[in-house]
């Protein structure tokens, strides 16, 4: 049975869930399509009320929602609460802005024979959302808030290790007043995912996850001529220039690499420091990592949570060993992490040469790759030496210089003087192997709508 809750701190299997039957999947598609036929024509005020109510419930019951996150994937309780608030903020954002973001757009035509041309943005149908476990609620909120607000309906296939987080969101939306069928959580098999994609009533798929999953789903959807958005892996560069405030920068780097136990697509996975300040920065950074306290994620004193599973921890240890076999130096930092729980000892990798294949990998845990760059130009070169293109950061006291460097980093998002940030009112997405399409704000809500041209033409206009 693939879908199960296993507490990553204790290793205890708490609940298992059977795979969906084919009949359940077919019924869910029927229901989602039937719901779409009504929901697409509901006034924005109705959709807004559902979004607002969902946000209210999340905030009113934040502790309960957060506890389940910590239980299922092991994140710090404080981070779980922040995720609940972020999810609520996303619902609020679309409650406030969906109607104006989707307002008809009068086109600025120059040829008078082009008529009175307007673009209207209409929902397309049932969307399949495939989501990862690292932010179980946020990942759902960032797809369903815009898509339901646009008038689409959504079927969810969440990661197999967060089945209860997925289920509770379906209940949340029902309690918020969403019509039955408009958002349905399923525990499908791989074959059933393909079956959903091939159903003509399903308009596309939004996937957040690994490159491997992205490639499979994009191929299956492509075969069925369905649109997809892909939010995939990342190995964000964190560039430190010689004029950065080193104390503050080192603190942000430790945070950027270790929040959510380092399991974030936009973690600051590659810290690139110019030679002039490299040694001092490494000293500060190492001290910051050494101060992390691994332990029970429910304990407010804990600052480093376990990873999501023992399997994930094992894979990271193996990849550290491979990096070392290719010439890197691995320095384990801080007090020993607990022996029980899916912990990995925080590790700093230095001496990563241009021929070490590990420099191109995504370490999804508390492993920092630190690169020494000759100067700004070399730092930009190293930042772009990656198949990924998700986020990134530049630290400098000269913000105009930071913006110029940001323009030269080939990613979807770059922050000056902050690790890559996730906010309800900022877009999210990348280029290259990090995928395509954008989530959140107006870009996200317009990914699965028909940008329809309606043109009123003077019948006497010359041909």
Provide the minimum distance between the beta carbon of 26 and ligand NAP in the complex, in angstroms, as a whole number. Answer: 18
Of 85, 131, 265, 439, which one is the catalytic site residue? 265
Provide the minimum distance between the beta carbon of 455 and ligand NAP in the complex, in angstroms, as a whole number. Answer: 37
Provide the minimum distance between the beta carbon of 422 and ligand NAP in the complex, in angstroms, as a whole number. Answer: 9
Phi and psi torsions of 42, nearest 5°: -70, 145
Asked if residue 167 lies in contact with residue 104, where contact means CB atoms within 8 angstroms, the answer is no
Of 79, 85, 231, 376, which one is the catalytic site residue? 231
Spatial neighbors of 36 by CB under 8 A, at least 6 apart, are 123, 125, 126, 151, 152, 153, 182, 201
The answer to whether residue 231 is catalytic is yes
Interatomic CA distance for residues 203 and 180, integer angstroms: 19
Provide the minimum distance between the beta carbon of 399 and ligand NAP in the complex, in angstroms, as a whole number. Answer: 26
Instruction: Locate 291 and state its tokens.
Output: 């101060």
Residue with Cβ nearer ligand NAP (191 or 338): 191
Instruction: Locate 212 and state its tokens.
Output: 């491997």
Provide the minimum distance between the beta carbon of 85 and ligand NAP in the complex, in angstroms, as a whole number. Answer: 18
Spell out the SS3 assignment of 228-285. Answer: EEEECCCCCEEEECCCCCHHHHHHHHHHHHHHHHHCCCCCCCEEEEEHHHHHHHHHHH
Residue with Cβ nearer ligand NAP (176 or 316): 316
Give contact residues for ligand NAP (rule: CB under 6 A).
2, 130-134, 157-160, 190, 193, 208-210, 213, 216-217, 231-234, 265, 362, 364, 390, 434
Provide the minimum distance between the beta carbon of 295 and ligand NAP in the complex, in angstroms, as a whole number. Answer: 24
Residue indicated by tokens 């105009």? 400
Provide the minimum distance between the beta carbon of 143 and ligand NAP in the complex, in angstroms, as a whole number. Answer: 10
Residue with Cβ nearer ligand NAP (286 or 368): 368
Q: What is the DSSP string of 347-405?
A: EEEE---TT-GGGGS---SSEEEEEEESSHHHHHHHHT-SS--S-EEEE-S-HHHHHHH
The dihedral built from the CA positions of residue 232, 237, 238 and 244, taken in this order, carries a sign that is negative
Residue with Cβ nearer ligand NAP (286 or 308): 308
Residue with Cβ nearer ligand NAP (158 or 372): 158
Residue with Cβ nearer ligand NAP (132 or 402): 132
Closest C-alpha to 145, from 204, 83, 206, 98: 98
The answer to whether residue 265 is catalytic is yes
Asked if residue 414 lies in contact with residue 390, where contact means CB atoms within 8 angstroms, the answer is no
Spell out the SS3 assignment of 204-236. Answer: EEEEECCHHHHHHHHHHHHHCCCEEEEECCCCC
Spatial strand order of the sheet with 105-106 comes to 105-106, 116-123, 449-456
Q: What is the DSSP string of 411-449?
A: SS--EESS-----TTS-B--SGGGEES-BSHHHHHTTTE
CB-closest chain residue to ligand NAP:
209
Residue with Cβ nearer ligand NAP (173 or 197): 197
Q: Which uninterrupted H or E stretch holds 450?
A: strand 449-456
Interatomic CA distance for residues 93 and 389, integer angstroms: 26
Residue with Cβ nearer ligand NAP (92 or 362): 362
Provide the minimum distance between the beta carbon of 131 and ligand NAP in the complex, in angstroms, as a whole number. Answer: 6
Positions annotated as catalytic residues are: 231, 265
């Amino acid at each position: 049975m693939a879908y199960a809750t296993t507490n990553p701190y204790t290793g205890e299997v708490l609940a298992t869930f059977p795979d969906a039957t084919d009949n359940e999947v077919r019924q869910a598609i029927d229901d989602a399509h039937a719901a779409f036929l009504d929901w697409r024509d509901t006034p924005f005020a109705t959709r807004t009320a559902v979004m607002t109510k969902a946000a209210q419930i999340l905030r009113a019951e934040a502790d309960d929602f957060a506890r389940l996150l910590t239980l299922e994937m092991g994140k710090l309780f404080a981070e779980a609460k922040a995720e609940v608030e972020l999810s609520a903020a996303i619902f609020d954002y679309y409650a406030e802005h969906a109607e104006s973001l989707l307002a008809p757009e009068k086109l600025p035509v120059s040829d008078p024979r082009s008529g009175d041309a307007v673009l209207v943005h209409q929902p397309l149908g049932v969307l399949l959302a495939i989501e990862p476990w690292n932010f179980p609620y946020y990942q759902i909120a960032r797809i369903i808030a815009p898509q339901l607000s646009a008038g689409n309906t959504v079927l969810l296939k969440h990661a197999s290790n967060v089945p209860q987080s997925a289920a509770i969101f379906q209940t949340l939306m029902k309690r918020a007043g969403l019509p039955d069928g408009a958002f349905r959580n399923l525990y499908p098999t791989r074959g059933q995912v393909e079956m959903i994609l091939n159903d003509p009533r399903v308009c596309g798929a939004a996937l957040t996850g690994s490159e491997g999953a992205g490639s499979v789903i994009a191929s299956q959807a492509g075969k069925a001529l369905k649109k997809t958005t892909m939010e995939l892996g990342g190995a964000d560069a964190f560039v430190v220039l010689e004029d950065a405030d080193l104390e503050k920068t080192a603190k942000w780097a430790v945070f950027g690499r270790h929040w959510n136990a380092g399991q974030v697509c936009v973690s600051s996975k590659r810290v690139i420091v110019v030679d002039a300040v490299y040694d001092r920065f490494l000293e500060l950074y190492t001290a910051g990592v050494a101060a992390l306290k691994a332990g029970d994620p429910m304990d407010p004193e804990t600052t480093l949570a376990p990873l999501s599973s023992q399997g994930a921890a094992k894979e990271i240890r193996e990849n550290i060993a491979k990096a070392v076999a290719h010439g890197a130096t691995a320095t384990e930092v801080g007090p020993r992490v607990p022996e029980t729980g899916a912990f990995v000892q925080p590790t700093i990798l230095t001496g990563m040469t241009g021929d070490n294949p590990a420099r191109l990998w995504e370490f999804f845990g508390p492993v920092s790759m630190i690169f020494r760059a000759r100067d700004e130009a070399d730092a930009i070169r190293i930042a772009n030496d990656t198949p990924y293109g998700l986020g990134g950061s530049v630290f400098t006291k000269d913000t105009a210089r930071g913006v110029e460097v940001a323009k030269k980093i080939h990613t979807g998002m770059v922050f000056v003087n902050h690790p890559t940030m996730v906010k309800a009112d900022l877009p999210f997405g990348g280029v290259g192997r990090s995928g395509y399409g954008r989530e959140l704000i107006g870009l996200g809500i317009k990914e699965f709508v028909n940008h329809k041209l309606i043109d009123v033409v003077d019948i006497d206009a010359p041909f």
